[in-house]
Amino acid sequence: MKKFCIAGPVDPEIHYSLPLRLEKEKIITLIDREFYFIMRAPRQSGKTTAISCLVDILNREGTYKALYVNVESAQASRGRYLEGIMLIVSCLKAAIQLTFGPDDPALKFFEGKKLVASEATGDELQNFLTFWAEHSEKPIFLCIDEIDALVGDTLISVLRQLRTGYKARPLHFPQSVCLVGVRDVRDYRIWSDENQQYVVGGSAFNIKAESLTLEPFSEKEVRVLYAQHTQETGQVFTEDAIHYAYMQTQGQPWLVNALAYQACFRDVTDRSQLITLEVMERARNTLILRCDTHLDALSQRLNEERVCRIVDAIIAGRSTPENFPEDAIQYVIDLGLIVRTTGMLQIANPIYQEILPRSLVAGTQDSITQKLAWYLTPDGVLDTKALLRAFAQFYRENAAAWLERFAYKEAGPHLLMMAFLQRVINGGGSIHREYALGTQRVDLLVTFKKQRIVIELKIARGLKYLQDGLMQTAKYMDTASATEGHLLLFDPTDASWDDKIYERQEMVNGKIITVWGV
């Protein structure tokens, strides 16, 4: 039985898969014109699968000799570039043997050679590619995957050797080269131990003709992928389930597959049962709580300074993206953490939107002593007002010390509230988060049994923020079919806590909203 791929490249023999997701004709045009280009996309988005599929197609068609090689193993060489280059040449040797067989003419280059750093001169990559091109009966198209996994002088050496050989193509060097990675080469800022200075990737590899990206799945493609499971097993996804999967993942390939794998191979293994919206919701929550390798690796990026500054502002809902260099924004987009839509920056999809703040406050949440039972009425209803009064007191006693611990200073109050709320609600209900740069707020929707509770968080900087917050809360209550609504206004001034903390009710457009000053 085939299954959904949740680790490594897709193998069509054992995984449900989609047809080639690259613009084949566009890439062939680049190859025909002897261009060197970039293919970039976030991790676990299908780059390796797509480019490997393209290489197979080109070799079957026969115009070019196409090779895929992964050079990630040379990452550990870092500044020891002689060792790194020899490892990369070894990778090329192994890839040629696997793709074209042990008798390929290119392998004659290695006769009598030891691929060890002690016998290296540093230009072995350029020399081999020259030999290969001169002994190949067809023009060469070379795809180098995980190029940005390389570090320091090893990466600089690879880029410069490709640049040096470029002018000799196609008779004496590969006709076309595709560098595959997460980022564009222009974003590489590489420290050279040898020269004791930073080298910009764009200067070391100024022969790039174009930088291509790989788009997420469309909703139609999600439907096609899931239909393969139905065809294979007879198990049907409802339309609501498919639409929910697309909306929650925004087509991120790993998430699309992981949701369906959790739903079909762990939660509902009886193939006579439908995969419904409720099943998908449960699978989503499981993924978030389990935080698999892909999600954990993504969270680790939050510690990087330029990622921190941008994500901090998004979580806080800052009104403008001031002081963010465009290359920093593009870097975080390339990582797959954020997207730019209708002029706003926001977290890439609802699942990431849930994962990122959770990972930022995981330690804090574990340190908060709160229990759901403390805030339940005798008939099992969540007493939201009692919970928020407890948070106001907690914030009063702990804000100064706890907020100082956060690297995410701007979003600190929001994160502390989320940690407190998550600690209480965890296991008894669920919390849905909405936030984006430019919104000036964070929207939380707590679902608990039949309750749908809107809690809007806002930094209070004057009366306008109160009026805007009330209108925004009322609108969100209407959209979310809320049973109650609350607006929390965090006061960033040095006013006394007695003045900051208050509670009162407002009526806006027929909605009763409890306003909390903290």
Residue-level pLDDT at 66: 98
Residue 104 burial (C-beta neighbours within 10 Å; 0-12, 13-18, 19+) = middle
CA atoms of 54 and 49, how far apart (whole Å): 9
- Whether the per-residue pLDDT at 292 is higher than 60: the answer is yes
The residue-averaged pLDDT of 158-177 equals: 95
Query: Does residue 282 register a pLDDT over 90?
Result: yes
**Per-residue model confidence as pLDDT tens digits over 379-433:** 999 999 999 999 999 999 988 888 887 788 888 899 999 989 988 988 688 888 8
Percent of the chain clearing pLDDT 90 (strictly above): 60
Q: Which domains does the chain have, with CATH numbers?
A: 24-213 (3.30.370.10), 219-290 (1.10.8), 357-517 (no CATH)
Read off φ and ψ for residue 144, nearest 5 degrees. Answer: -110, 110
Section 97-122 average pLDDT:
91
pLDDT band at 504; cut points 50, 70, 90: very high
The answer to whether the beta carbons of residues 194 and 119 sit under 8 Å apart is no
* E-only strand ranges, 225-290: none
Half-sphere exposure of 189 (CA within 13 A, CB side): 4
User: What is the average pLDDT across 99-126?
Assistant: 91
User: What local confidence, expressed as pLDDT, does residue 506 receive?
Assistant: 95
- If phi > 0 it is left, if psi is from -120 to 50 it is alpha, else beta; for residue 22 that is beta
Residue with the bigger pLDDT between 264 and 156: it is: 264
Identify which has the larger pLDDT, 434 or 482: 482
**pLDDT (0 to 100) of residue 366:** 77
pTM for this entry: 0.85
Tokens describing residue 108: 């004659």
Give the per-residue pLDDT at 298: 80
**Euclidean distance between the first and final Cα of the chain, in Å?**
56
What pLDDT is stored for residue 430 in this prediction?
86
More confident residue, 119 or 220: 220
Average pLDDT over residues 464-476: 89
> Residue 291: what pLDDT?
75
* Average model confidence (pLDDT) across the chain: 90
Confidence of residue 328 (pLDDT cuts 50, 70, 90): confident
The predicted pLDDT at position 463 comes to 74
Provide the pLDDT for residue 470.
Answer: 94
Mean pLDDT in residue range 267-283: 96
pLDDT of 54 strictly over 70: yes
Q: How confident is the model at residue 202 (pLDDT cuts 50, 70, 90)?
A: low
pLDDT at 343 over 90: no
Give backbone dihedrals phi and psi of 243, rounded to 5 degrees, phi first.
-65, -40
